[in-house]
Copies of this chain bind each other. A is one copy, B any other.
Amino acid sequence: MKFIHTGDWHLGKLVHGIYMTEDQRYLLNQFIEVVAEEQPDAVVIAGDLYDRSVPPTDAVELLDEILFKINVELNIPVVAIAGNHDSAERLSFGSSWYRHNHFYLTGKLIYDFRPVQIKGVNFHLVPYAEPGHVRHLLDDSSVHSHQDAMKAVIGKMEQNLNPNEPNILVGHAFVLGGETCESERTLSVGGSGCVSSDLFAPFSYTALGHLHSPDAIRHDKIKYSGSLMKYSFSEAKQRKTISIIEMNENGSFEIRERTLTPRQDMRELEGHLEELLDPKFYEKQKTDDYLKVTLLDDGSLIDPIGKLRKIYPHVLHLERKIESVDQKQLRNFSSIKEEKKSELDLFEQFYREMTTAEFTDEKRELMAGIVNKVLKEEAQK
């Protein structure tokens, strides 16, 4: 039995103010080609189909279109769960009809722990749920953390679990051993969001969504699919893949990865402004990628982002890295909160670090006047 494991599509995602929907469409059309070529027995989507509970309508239309192509046109069963970004209730709408066509969508966790069976393999679906929901659903007052919730749900599932058949858990959770990154919305404070990998011992394979890197956890039988594409610069160096699993009757399996090619990559570029604007450099670049640019120049620059965007239209983020600044000074700058410095001293420090120019007496006097004026106004409020 062969299935494809994907997840974290985040349709309707905004990255630095830009909707990714067309990029997502481009990748998902490739995904459909892979599905058509591989002809799996199922496609598993491990949550976060949408990026938010009420996604923009073109994201709704895109999901409808893609799932229709896979499930109806290619006639391939689809197994999907809601992630923390999805609205469990909204996603659930219509699930009962979809099942008729072997599209198994679980939005809201309900009291039905029977697996979906496809070609001798049991898929146990655990959509993202808050511990409070699980506590209420199972009437189990001991459930407080995500760990408790997953343990309790798996406990219920084990009651129906046939250990002589391959069992796959499809979940959307932060499983310990994984790394976090910027674009995953913080779920819970402290460790309560984490789930221990030991819990998944009863399963032949655990198909996870939530963390965006396919390498987020190193485990023989537990895997994150990774997101459809890079959704933040913290993911710039991550691989983005889909996993193809061939499951044997005894629950052993082989796993393969395939890569989709984004319309525009998301990557970081570092250098001096002049160098980045030099044709000798940028002619070798894919200039229309989504870029975070880090400039190494000292001193002030006039409209660097405007100049960069003439060459690289999709610069989404610009940073400056001041190499000449004494590391000790930088450390001081980081720890200013602990010291008591005057506003003028703070500004002077900031000015020196940002411009590497002299903060002359004349400038100091001008700034002092402004600072005093503001402080006076504040005091009068």
Write the residues of chain A forming the contact surface with B, with a CB cutoff of 8 angstroms.
54, 57-58, 60-61, 63-64, 68, 71-72, 87, 89-90, 92-98, 100-101, 103
Contacts and interface: CB of A to CB of B under 8 A. Distances in A.
A278 B90 CA distance: 48
Contacts of A92: 60-61, 64
Nearest to A93: B64
A151 to B, nearest CB: 27
Contacts of A58: 89
A94 B87 contact: no
List the 5 closest pairs (A to B, CB-CB), nearest first: A57-B89, A94-B94, A64-B93, A97-B98, A68-B96
A57 B87 contact: yes
Given A57-B89, A60-B90, A60-B93, 11 more contacts: A58-B89, A60-B92, A61-B92, A61-B93, A63-B93, A64-B93, A64-B94, A93-B93, A94-B94, A97-B101, A97-B103
A72 B100 CA distance: 10
Contact of A97 (B54, B57, B89, B94): B94
A64 B87 CA distance: 15
A90 B64 CA distance: 10
A214 to B, nearest CB: 29
17 contacts: A54-B54, A57-B87, A57-B89, A58-B89, A61-B89, A63-B93, A64-B92, A64-B94, A64-B95, A71-B97, A72-B96, A72-B97, A93-B93, A94-B97, A94-B98, A97-B100, A100-B100
A64 B100 CA distance: 15
- Of the listed residues A89, A90, A97, A101, the one surrounded by the most CB atoms of chain B closer than 10 A to its CB is A97
A208 to B, nearest CB: 26
Copies of this chain, complex-wide, total 2
Contacts of A68: 96-97
A257 to B, nearest CB: 30
A78 to B, nearest CB: 11
- Of the listed residues A63, A89, A92, the one surrounded by the most CB atoms of chain B closer than 10 A to its CB is A89
Nearest to A88: B57
Given A94-B94, A97-B94, A97-B103, A89 B72 contact: no
Contacts of A96: 64, 68, 72
Contacts of A61: 89, 92-93
Contacts of A98: 94, 97
B89 A60 contact: yes
Nearest to A56: B89
A87 B90 CA distance: 13
A216 to B, nearest CB: 30
A61 to B, nearest CB: 6
Contacts of A93: 60-61, 63-64, 93-94
Nearest to A89: B57
Contacts of A72: 96-97
A141 B58 CA distance: 25
A71 to B, nearest CB: 8
A93 to B, nearest CB: 5
A314 to B, nearest CB: 27
A68 B96 CA distance: 7
Nearest to A73: B96
A93 B105 CA distance: 13
Nearest to A108: B61
Contacts of A100: 97, 100-101
Nearest to A61: B89
Contacts of A71: 97
